[in-house]
Amino acid sequence: MQKIIAYIERDPVTGLYIGTVPEIVGAHTQAETLDELQKNLKEVIELCLEEMTPEDKKHLPEFIGIQQIEVSV
């Protein structure tokens, strides 16, 4: 079992939840609820990992953390 970190945002225009896994190309999806998003993310991650070679899987980046940066605009 492998733990994967997903980033979740809410689109202010559509109201949809958007999930992205930056370290896996193509691993992104959207849904109307967080429960549906989690189901969709699990499915897309599994599909992406099936397409990867064992060597590619060894080189997935390690999640360290998230930082919020404040900038003036």
- Asked, for residue 68, whether it belongs to a domain, the answer is no
- Asked, for residue 25, whether it belongs to a domain, the answer is yes
pLDDT tens per residue across span 19-29: 999 889 999 99
Q: What's the predicted TM-score (pTM) here?
A: 0.80
Residues facing residue 28 across a β-bridge: 20
HEC profile of the chain: CCCCCCEEEECCCCCCEEEECCCCCCCEEEECCHHHHHHHHHHHHHHHHHHCCHHHHHCCCCCCCCCCCCCCC
User: Tell me, what CATH number does 21's domain have?
Assistant: 3.30.160.250
pLDDT tens per residue across span 25-64: 999 999 999 999 999 999 999 999 999 999 998 888 888 8
**How many domains does the structure of the chain reveal?**
1
